[in-house]
A and B are shown apart, each in its own frame.
Chain A
Amino acid sequence: MNNTIKQELRDIVGQNYFKDDEESLVTHSYDGTPMLQSLPDGVIYPKDTAEVSAIMKILNRNHVPLVSRGSGTNLCGGTVPVQGGVVMVMHRMNAILEVDLQNLTATVQPGMITKQFIEHVEGMGLFYPPDPSSMSISTIGGNIAECSGGLRGLKYGTTKDYVLGLECVLASGEIVRTGGKLMKDVAGYDLTKLLIGSEGTLAIITEATLKLIPMPKHKKTMLAMFTDLYSAARTVSHIIENRIIPATLEFMDNPTIKVVDDYAKLGLPLDMAAILLIEQDGEPEMVERDIQRISEICREEQAAQISIANNQEEALKLLTARRSAFTALARLRPTTILEDATVPRSKIAEMVLEINRIALKYNVQICTFGHAGDGNLHPTATTDARDKEEIHRVEEAFAEIFEAAIALGGTITGEHGVGLVKAPFLEWKVGAAGIELMKGIKLAFDPMHLLNPGKIFAKETRRRVVLNRG
């Protein structure tokens, strides 16, 4: 990227908001994904849609790639600028533009921090359910671009179920609006849904209109502890089979319980094979009834212990501790590689067994936790990036886990996205024709491959791409 382009960018955003010093480049070369790092050529901080559009026009004219970035917490290499170019940080565009109490919608800028948004609307007695574990720092823009799920996905769905309309900037710099404050809208293709989960490869999201729902009146949280992994996992399917849909139904295996407790100091039983964290919300009578019934099902499945949180504070502590699980696993070994295999909910127990079998086969440590009620598990390998041979075994194990998931009718990623790391496996899930179709869509939006290039579509390789020394 030459100095003329840099000057043009500075002219748009001002001297302080375009940076190309080493420090800025290094600190925008990574995200939450292990073992990936690649330097951009510049970092830019736009303040509004007009600036985003003006920036994109310049980059488009000069064929410079652009990577949109929220807080860089994604786990698929989504914001690693593998082909250089400019990283666009959305943090300055972090306003809540409107909360519409008549339509129960909110309109926000993409750099808004998820948790701050949730707290803001909760203060008004409203509810925005998508709550990825990273919500204390993730952005709404990042959530939309990854179609993030969370602890409440089982009953309330994921980000895609709450986005009604978007404003976005195309690779050409044109500004497009999709959807609106509308509960119904079939005017042409559903571009809103297409952009959700598009991982910054189709357009830059500059504004979002989100659906809000009334706050549930009552909540109850419980823990069920099992000495047998399989019966814990089977309990998940049984609860759903019994036509109860809890708000939250999370799973943690023994090593995960240990590290989480080491961090959060909750006094969890360290000798259990697995714990289910269950929450139900809604009308008080229904909540009581469901929690009763769920406890019975857990007992039928030989739960060793069941405990119910005494108050909201205690419940919040449990949920917060669960949210720390992935990072807490980093206590065990220097490198933690987490995957996102998802299967139909009835297959969760089988999947848990498969993961353990595969871990044994490749002699790697895999700890499993996840949104079990969604069928979404996070088998996490704790390893050391410096040990190339072990990393190779981990990669082999994960390839086999993906295979197992697909064989059970599942997918390679439930909520973390394809990005770089799962690109080599995408064809396994969607087939060659599926890939071609997606490539056609990409081309229609971004004919010059400027938006987050190198992501989603792989060059056939199945091996994980390791760049530099991350």
Chain B
Amino acid sequence: MANSSSSTSEALRQTLQLKLDYDQLTNCMRCGFCLPACPTFKETGIEAESPRGRIALMKAAVDGLMEPDVRFEEQMSHCLGCRACEPACPADVKYGQLIEQARDAIEDHTTQHRVWVKGVRKLVFKQLFPHQGRMKMLGKGLRFYQRSGLQSVVRKTGAVKLFSKQLSSLERILPKASGKGVVDQLGTRIPAKGKKIATVGMFRGCLMDTLFMETNYKTVGLLTEAGFEVVIPDQQNCCGALHAHSGETTQAKELAKNNIRAFQEAGVDYIISNAGGCGAILVEYDHLLHDEPEWQEQSLWFAKRVKDISAILVEKGNPLLFNNSNDKSEPVRITYQDSCHLKNVMKAGAAPRKLLSSLPNVDFVEMQDAGSCCGSAGIYNVTQPEMANQILDHKMQHVNATRPHYIVTSNPGCLLQMKLGIDKHADNNQMQAIHIVDFLYERMKGLN
């Protein structure tokens, strides 16, 4: 037993040596500046749960100083992938790339856990996503994520119980999946209102187009109102974020190429995402495909055009007009929970705030640590329920302190997590979580 485990970890070491960017590993000069930014370090105070610690573990595994054993794999899946450590790092260490490379390597060596994964998958499909057909893409993404993330959970006793408990609380807050996507409702080309500023391609997203179809519909509404012609290429597919973050790089690349083709054919000026999690991988397609020279130009073409909905409205759009009618009533109090990837990767954390604070009769209150991950992190809240819950508990303390009517978010995962937070910890029963697009749309003049 011991023998076989050390031979798998030797094999894993070799793959790590192959896949990890050694220059990035040495670029970390261990100053520790990233520690206070890291949610898992803040929760535990343990060095191994910090970016500096994880990089040191990767390097030690590559250098042969330690065995990349089960605990090593576990530590790699403990990371939220929120990338708050990147803007905090003056040395510009590309932590996001390192963790993806590490998970990619780990994923290559996890065949023996497939039985478990199969069981868990069944659970996911049965309890979480009853409409298998419609959720096909999402289901695939989930599956890959679990392969890397879940194996560590399921090894622990009682994990399955915890896991299904987490799923059942998630199920409670899940909106109904829609049978029709945004293209079914609006077609693939929607004209701008008034003079056209530019043509934008809309990235519809798997989760967004099923669970949050309304939001996609309203995104188109905001864009056309702001003067953009909207094209929704029907050939586009999943962004590949879940694949890339969980070590399924090959799959992620295929998805990326297909998306690039679809949007190039549509000939758009910008590519708009309303999910920070998708936007962040879209904006890094050039990196994802960096080792495929024939894709260099196209992937750069794509990456350069990607913008979040809030950013394009603030930077390029005609100013939107908002209802000012019920100014006698109490202002609506709102707070904003950052999408980690919107803030740390797309570097567009300021745009949603700008929009929200410009709204009439809306009182925008910044909560403490709004920029710190809510624990959703893709489907981290399913795969690492203990840590995710701990992070969410602290998050809700900060939310409650601002006494908001609404918690506004920019990403479906965050939205679900905040709904879960409200379900569990809200101080009052009026609090709601809402996507920024829905919040803006509801207040726009003449649209409703």
Contacts and interface: CB of A to CB of B under 8 A. Distances in A.
Interface of A: 21-34, 37, 39, 71-73, 89, 91-92, 113, 134, 136-138, 260, 262-263, 324-328, 330-331, 334-336, 384-386, 468-469
A385 B29 CA distance: 11
Contact of B29 (A91, A136, A137, A327): A327
Interface of B: 23, 26-33, 35-36, 45-48, 53, 56-57, 60, 63, 65-67, 69, 71-72, 75, 89-92
Contact of A22 (B36, B66, B90): B66
B47 A27 contact: yes
B71 A32 contact: no
A26 B33 contact: no
Please provide the 7 A-B residue pairs with the shortest distance between their CB atoms, ordered closest to farther. A330-B91, A327-B90, A324-B90, A328-B90, A334-B26, A27-B47, A27-B53
A28 B30 CA distance: 12
Given A32-B29, A134-B32, 20 more contacts: A22-B66, A23-B48, A23-B75, A26-B65, A26-B66, A30-B30, A32-B31, A72-B30, A72-B47, A113-B36, A134-B31, A137-B33, A263-B90, A263-B92, A327-B91, A330-B90, A330-B91, A334-B23, A334-B27, A386-B26
Nearest to A334: B26
B47 A330 contact: no
Contacts of B66: 22-23, 25-26
Which applies to chain A's interface (DSSP): helix, strand, loop or mixed? loop
A335 B91 CA distance: 11
B84 to A, nearest CB: 13
Nearest to A73: B32
A136 B65 contact: no
Given A27-B57, A324-B90, A334-B23, A469 B65 contact: yes
B92 A22 contact: no
A469 B26 contact: no
Contact of A328 (B60, B69, B71, B91): B91
Nearest to A324: B90
Contacts of B31: 32, 73, 134, 326-327
Contacts of A25: 66
A359 B8 CA distance: 47
Residue of B27, B30, B35 with most partner-chain A CB within 10 A: B30
Contact of B69 (A22, A334, A335): A22
Contacts of B30: 30-33, 72
Contacts of A24: 47-48
B91 A468 contact: no
A34 B56 contact: no
Given A91-B45, A469-B63, A71 B32 contact: yes
B21 to A, nearest CB: 11
Nearest to A70: B32
Contacts of B63: 469
B368 to A, nearest CB: 13
Nearest to A335: B26
Contacts of A326: 31, 90
B32 A21 contact: no
A172 to B, nearest CB: 29
Contacts of B26: 334-335, 384-386
Contacts of A325: 90
Contacts of A21: 71
A325 B69 CA distance: 36
Residue of B46, B71, B89 with most partner-chain A CB within 10 A: B46
Contacts of B27: 330-331, 334
A30 B56 contact: yes
Contact of A137 (B32, B53, B92): B32
A386 B65 CA distance: 17
A86 B183 CA distance: 62
Nearest to B63: A469
A138 to B, nearest CB: 8
Contacts of A469: 63, 65
A396 B72 CA distance: 39
A331 B91 contact: yes
A28 B47 contact: yes
B342 to A, nearest CB: 18
Contacts of B57: 23, 26-27
A331 B69 CA distance: 31
Given A32-B31, A72-B47, A334-B23, A137 B89 contact: no
A89 B66 CA distance: 21
A28 B272 CA distance: 44
B36 A137 contact: yes
A92 B44 CA distance: 10
B26 to A, nearest CB: 4
A71 B29 contact: no
A89 B48 CA distance: 13
Nearest to B28: A330
Contacts of A31: 30
Contacts of A91: 45
Contacts of B23: 334
Residue of A260, A334, A384, A385 with most partner-chain B CB within 10 A: A334
Contacts of B71: 21-23
16 contacts: A22-B67, A26-B48, A26-B56, A26-B65, A27-B56, A28-B47, A30-B56, A134-B33, A137-B36, A324-B90, A327-B91, A330-B28, A331-B27, A331-B91, A331-B92, A335-B29
B65 A327 contact: no
Given A71-B32, A334-B26, A468 B65 contact: yes
Contacts of A260: 90
A230 to B, nearest CB: 28
Contacts of A89: 47
Contacts of A334: 23, 26-27
Nearest to A338: B29
A136 B57 CA distance: 23
Contacts of A385: 26
A136 B36 contact: yes
A159 B75 CA distance: 36
Nearest to B67: A22
A113 B33 CA distance: 12
Residue of B47, B48, B63 with most partner-chain A CB within 10 A: B47
A230 B133 CA distance: 72
B62 to A, nearest CB: 10
A73 B30 CA distance: 7
Contacts of B28: 330
B29 A34 contact: yes
A336 B45 contact: no
